[in-house]
Structure 1
Amino acid sequence: MPSPSSFALPEPAFAAAAVPTREALLDVAARLFVERGTERVALADIAAGAGLELRVLRDHFASREHLLLALQQRFVEGFRVRLHDAMDRCRPNDWPARLRAWVQSAVEGYLDQVALHDVVFHDLRTHDRHAMQENPVIDQLVELLEGGIAARVWAAPDPRLTAVIFFTAMHSAVDRVIACGEPQDRQRLVQTLIGYFERSVQWWARF
């Protein structure tokens, strides 16, 4: 008489491959975009890189543009978290230290990820005037400025406009360093920006 184990179903010849997570798909897309540029990467290339059929990838991202927008959103959120963590290492009410931490982390975060940044923001060739009003990183800076203003450490008549100016200045200063091909003296750049920002919010206190 056969033993019970002899009635067990045979193992399948090939185990079903696990479908990559959304984050894993974005990782593959980011790598290919940085290596080749967005114009030279199709959804089929990303599907192949992830070991998927194209139709499966399309279940997650309908087009290359949708995928790039998802990478943009992930980049912005990761950047925001990086700045938040840097500020959280300072005392809650030490507003000058928190501002310096924001600037230091913003400069380093941009320079550390410049290739990916340029792919997902510059190569997409989109221009949205609402971006400065709907940017979580600027919202974060507004909150920081409002905290310092409420504590009477700083003064600024329009915290959001000030935050937009600060964010734009940081972005442009880093772009200049990259464009000029100069050796990156990160600390000098950080100190220049901090001096500019601190003088700006202290200047208004005279009125």
Structure 2
Amino acid sequence: MRHKVTKLDTRATKTPRTKPAEVRLDELMNAAERLFLDKGVESTTINEIVEAAQVAKGTFYHYFSSKNEILEALGKRYTDQFLVSLETAVGACAEGDWLGRLRAWIYASVVTYVDTFHIHDIVYANHHHHDRSNQAKNAILDQLQGIIEGGTVAGLWAPENPRVVALLIYSGVHGATDDVIATRANDCTAFAQTVTESCLHMLGVFPENSSASLKQSGKVR
């Protein structure tokens, strides 16, 4: 006997015609990012973006007024994701392990930047990551400053101005990593460790002190 398909069966198996707005937006930005990386921003057209994302051109203009505007949104997303990677690395350390947290922050900054510099160079070709109005960048600095201040309270170091030290470490890590990116090194692990130790020197933390503290915190056995 054949099974008769009822209207109820049809309704139950029907899939939604439209995707949630956040999914469409994410797909649109992903398509733009891929094209920008493959062809460059100038050579990519809005028509190519909407075709790659499989959306109508009107959908693009619903979210963005121009190609530059989607590029700015990609820049914000990049910095937000960078911040999340730092938060994850720091969050893996014990709550009061300020030395471990600082080491994790610096190390993750180097590795994450090396892994994502192609996107960074696209989204910040005209508007650099050090833009004073970049709120996400300021959030990264606030995160770093909080670690430095926590270590100060714990008596691990005593900087005269934690904000200045945070700025120096932030800018120094970024600039130093640009150098290793330029050399096209296959493995940045040793470099990341060297940058980490050099930054710690600014706070008066040297390898022997660092190792002793790490052993106490269980990071080194």
What range is the shorter-chain TM-score in? 0.7 to 0.9
Aligned residue number for residue 44 of structure 2? 41
Are residues 1:61 and 2:64 paired?
yes
Kindly state the Cα deviation for residue 190 of structure 1 after the two structures are TM-superposed: 1.5
Q: Which runs of 4+ in 1 moved over 3 A?
A: 5-8, 15-20, 131-134
Kindly state the Cα deviation for residue 17 of structure 1 after the two structures are TM-superposed: 5.0
Question: How far, CA to CA, are the matches of 2:7 and 2:170 in structure 1?
Answer: 68
Question: How far, CA to CA, are the matches of 1:7 and 1:104 in structure 2?
Answer: 59
TM-score norm. by structure 1 comes to 0.83
Q: Using a 3 Å threshold, how does the CA distance of structure 1 residues 197 and 72 change in structure 2: closer, same or farther?
A: same
Aligned residue number for residue 101 of structure 1? 104
Aligned residue number for residue 89 of structure 2? 86
Q: Answer yes or no: is the 8 Å Cα contact 2:151–2:157 preserved in 1.
A: yes
Corresponding residue to 2:201 among 183, 199, 202: 199
Gaps of 5+ in 2: 206-221
Gaps of 5+ in 1: none
* Partner SS state of residue 90, structure 1: coil
Question: How far, CA to CA, are the matches of 1:58 and 1:115 in structure 2?
Answer: 26
Aligned residue number for residue 154 of structure 2? 151
* 1:67-107 deviation digits (Å, cap 9, x = unpaired): 11111111111111111111111111111111111112111
Corresponding residue to 2:191 among 183, 189, 192: 189
Are residues 1:126 and 2:127 paired?
yes
RMSD between superposed Cα atoms in Å: 2.6
Kindly state the Cα deviation for residue 129 of structure 1 after the two structures are TM-superposed: 5.1
* Partner SS state of residue 113, structure 1: helix
Kindly state the Cα deviation for residue 163 of structure 1 after the two structures are TM-superposed: 1.1
TM-score norm. by structure 2 comes to 0.78
One-letter amino acid matched to 1:121: Y
One-letter amino acid matched to 2:57: L
Question: How far, CA to CA, are the matches of 2:100 and 2:118 in structure 1?
Answer: 29
Percent identity between the aligned chains?
A: 30
Q: Answer yes or no: is the 8 Å Cα contact 1:33–1:119 preserved in 2.
A: yes
Question: How far, CA to CA, are the matches of 2:79 and 2:175 in structure 1?
Answer: 17
Corresponding residue to 1:137 among 140, 147, 159: 140
One-letter amino acid matched to 1:126: H
Question: How far, CA to CA, are the matches of 1:153 and 1:135 in structure 2?
Answer: 24
